[in-house]
Every structure is written in C-alpha cells, then in structure tokens.
Structure 1
Amino acid sequence: MEPYVKLTNKNSVGYIEFFHPAHNSLPGNLLSELARSITNAGEDESIKVIVLKSGGDRTFCAGASFEELVSINDDETGKIFFSGFANVINAMRKCPKFIIGRVQGKTVGGGVGLASATDYCMATKFASIKLSELNVGIGPFVVGPAVQRKLGLSAMSQIAIDANTFYSAEWAKNKGLFTEVYETTEALDEAVVAFAKNLCAYNPKAMSEMKTMFWRGTEDWDQLLIQRAKISGRLVLSEFTKDKLQSYK
C-alpha cells in the first residue's frame, strides 16, 4: 500500500489516520501532511473532537524515516528533517480541540512524541514504547518536551537513557501516558468511539478553554522545538552517528 494521511469526519469526530508500509515510519512529506490535517481539523467547525490513529494492526509508529535519516548531509537538511515532528507536535498543541490518541501497537522515537502530544491516549496491551534515539548517537531532543510533560522527567530520562528497551503498555499507563490499556484492538476501537461520542456532547468552547489551560507553559515550544531540531541535525552529521547508521543499513 502507498503511504497516506487522511482525515475523515464521522459523527462530528475527525479521524486522522497515517500509514507507511515501513512500520508507519514518518518521512518529511507525511509529517507535513499530518501537521496540515491536524490544523485543518482544528479549524473545521463540523468537527468537535479529533482521533489520531495509524493504519494497520501492528506498529503505531516506528518514528522518523530511516531512509531520510541516512541521507542527511548538511546542517540545514538536518534541521528541516527533525523539524517535521516539531511541526506536528506544535500543531497538536495549538489545536483548539481535544485529540484522542489510539495506539494499537508498538511505538518508537518520534511515535512516542506523537502519543505524548495527544490530550487523552488509549492503547492496547501490545503498545510498548521505546525512545531509541540514543542508539544512533542522537537523542529525543525534539519529542523530549512532549514526553516529559506526560511522563515526568524521571520516567522520560529512564527510557531515553535505556534506549535498547521496550517498556510495556502497562508501564506507560502507570506513568501517565496511556489512560487505559485494552486486551484487543477491537476493544480499543469500541472504547475510542464511545469516548469520542461522549466528548461530542460537551460544550466545544469549554473544551477549548480546558485545552488552553492544560497546555499552559508551553508557549515557547515553537522556538524550543526548532532549537532542539538543530541539535539533532548537528548530531546526525557526527562520525559516530554516520557509522552507526551505516551499520544498520
């Protein structure tokens, strides 16, 4: 199947779904489409609540595109590449509507950042998480603020340092990333639909004001995440990271 990002409106719920055959990894063009879809859904008055999901039954998101990562050869390209997730997180942050995360499977790196930037995240027991960036000589600089905001500094630093380990969905729930963990994808989907329907009965203006309250203190993220993207863009050019990436090819 071809990669895609699509937005569909079902009963006032905007379902934003992304897909890539490489375990739902996200190249720059899909990240741009994702950020644009989130912004459009936020501006669409017929949509009251948003659900962020990925296609397929297995991996939620494998993070950044490996093919694009290995092709970076200068600072500016690196900054633009890592700014992709920054733009999506900032679009989610500034969206005036609650975003429900639907995480059906494993999520890595930037995918953990996307899950963390949702306002209410639901998952299956298969949705283990890993921040793998240190493995290739960089770090979770861009997604770090979103992950830290949800998990706290202690838990975020734990999974960022222990970059080889998948942490269970139950661990992620205990740390505050997931609100509930379900046995099957079917049970997850039923719960997401029911919860979204419930939110649609609330006052949209009240939900918008609540979202602003929840995200207070992140007003500098437009600048902060781009600064972080520059750090990652610089590190990816290091001899260590170049050698590491080549060993994975």
Structure 2
Amino acid sequence: MRLNSIMEAYVKQNLENDIATIEFFHPAKNSLPGIILAQLANTITEVGHNPEVKVIILKSGGDSAFCAGASFQELINIDDAATGKVFFSGFANVINAMRKCPKFIIVRIQGKTVGGGVGIAAAADYCMATKNAAIKLSELNVGIGPFVVSPAIERKMGVSAMSQIAIDANTFYEASWAKDKGLYATIYETVEALDEAVQQFAEYLCTYNPEAMTEMKKIFWRGTEDWDALLAERAAISGRLVLSDFTKETLKKFK
C-alpha cells in the first residue's frame, strides 16, 4: 500500500507459492516514521494469520541501506511525553507483531542498518544479509537509548554484544561481527546472491509441516510473554528522554 502523504514511502505485500513477501520503503534511507511502523506491524499481523502463507520474507526497498532507524523529522517534532511514547511504541508494535506471528519470518538485510532496523533484524526468526550489512545503535548520540529494541537484540546476541554496540554508539560493526554474535545466520557477497539464497531458503521451509513450524516458533520465543508490557515501558522511557534538553539541542542539528 502506497502512502502518498509521505512522498514515495510504502509498505506492501506479495503472496506467491505460499511465501509472503513484505517490503517497506522510505526515501530517507528507509527510515521509519510512525505511519510506516503502524503499517508494517499491521501487515505482519495480517499476513501471519493468512492460512495461505507458510513463510514470510521481510525486506526493505532499494539496494543501499536496510534501515536508517527512527525518523529524525518525527523525533524533532515530539513535544510531549505522550506523543513520544506513541512514536516509540511503533517500534514495540513491530517487534511484538514479529514475535507473535505464527509463521517463520526471514529478514533480508541488503545494507547498513541502524537503531530500530537492528531491532527488526534481531526479531527475525532467521536473518540473512550481505557483507555490507554493518550495524549501529546510534541512540546515545542523540541523548536517548535503544530501550525498545534492546530486549530483542539481547535475546539474539547476548547482553555483552548488545551493550557493546549500545555504548559505542558512533561505530558501525561489520556484518561479519554481527554474524559471529548470532544476529545474522548467513552473509553473502552481493545483493543478488542474497536474494537467490533467501528465495531458496524460503522455498525449502515451505516443505516443512506448517504446524511444526508454528510450534517451534512458540518454543523459540518462550520467555517473552511479558514483552507487550515491557516494550511499552521502554517506549515511555524513550518518549521522556527525547524531551530532555540534551536531546532537543542535539536534534536541532538535524533540522
């Protein structure tokens, strides 16, 4: 579905041979404003409950960055804690939609990913990337922190790796590092090789018993039953911090 109110940004889906592909795009390096986050969460939920779907591929448009994280324009415009919580809850809703989805989700990472995009990668059931898919958690640079996405990242990579990239907020960590820490299952030399591998893997998964995959997903996500409340609490923290004098002064540089 195209969202003309924000230029050429969109979230769309396609179903072919039991595989649903969900794609999001924003001209600002696939950044994530609230309207895209809402569409993405709703689409994941909708597709996940489609009986014709066996496997989901989640990707972003273009061949450069996978995701630039939160929309700086929306961050700049937040002027009260309630609005801030609503905005950051958008990331919580996407992660929770991925968590609750009864189908395996393969996330395809073609390039660099920042902040919330790292959270999406971590919420994947299986994540495949190119060698150019470096990651960064830049939130501390603007006076907030990766509060909403950190539970997913910690679950996938461990506290040590998560804290390292959260503290070292100026550094992009190479795809090979992310693979070594468990974020990526496989990495490829080119986008073309990645796309071929993602498609082949999705087709292979379609040969599995769908009921078995659903039951396995429940096991994979065991222990996250409190995430609806947890991520809402984390969104409130970010919504409060984005109003701090430090963050407001920092965000002025991006106007």
1:174 counterpart = 2:180: yes
The aligned counterpart of 1:94 is 100
Q: Which amino acid aligns with 1:148?
A: E
2:72 to 62, 66, 74: 66
The aligned counterpart of 1:30 is 36
2:250 to 236, 244, 247: 244
CA contact (8 A) 2:72 2:254 kept: no
1:49 counterpart = 2:28: no
1:76 counterpart = 2:87: no
Q: Distance in 2 between matches of 1:248 and 1:171?
A: 29
The aligned counterpart of 2:3 is none
Task: Report the Cα offset of residue 247 of structure 1.
Answer: 2.0
Residue correspondences, number: 249
The aligned counterpart of 1:109 is 115
Q: Give the alignment's TM-score, normalised by structure 2.
A: 0.97
The aligned counterpart of 2:133 is 127
The aligned counterpart of 2:159 is 153
Q: Distance in 2 between matches of 1:165 and 1:18?
A: 25
* CA-to-aligned-CA distance 1:25-62 (integer Å, 9 cap, x gap): 01101100000110011110111000000000000000
SS in 1 for 2:223: coil
1:225 counterpart = 2:234: no
Task: Report the Cα offset of residue 243 of structure 1.
Answer: 0.3
CA contact (8 A) 2:135 2:172 kept: yes
Query: Which ranges in structure 2 are unaligned for 5 or more consecutive residues?
Result: 1-6
1:141 to 133, 147, 169: 147
State the Cα RMSD in Å.
Answer: 0.6
Identical-pair percentage = 71
1:187 to 179, 193, 196: 193
Q: Which amino acid aligns with 1:96?
A: P
The aligned counterpart of 1:205 is 211
Q: Distance in 2 between matches of 1:22 and 1:154?
A: 31
Task: Report the Cα offset of residue 248 of structure 1.
Answer: 2.8
Q: Which amino acid aligns with 2:205?
A: L
Task: Report the Cα offset of residue 220 of structure 1.
Answer: 0.2
* CA-to-aligned-CA distance 1:118-155 (integer Å, 9 cap, x gap): 10000000000000000000000000000101110000
SS in 2 for 1:26: coil
Q: Which amino acid aligns with 1:38?
A: I
SS in 1 for 2:148: coil
Q: Give the alignment's TM-score, normalised by structure 1.
A: 0.99
Task: Report the Cα offset of residue 19 of structure 1.
Answer: 0.2
Q: Distance in 2 between matches of 1:226 and 1:185?
A: 35
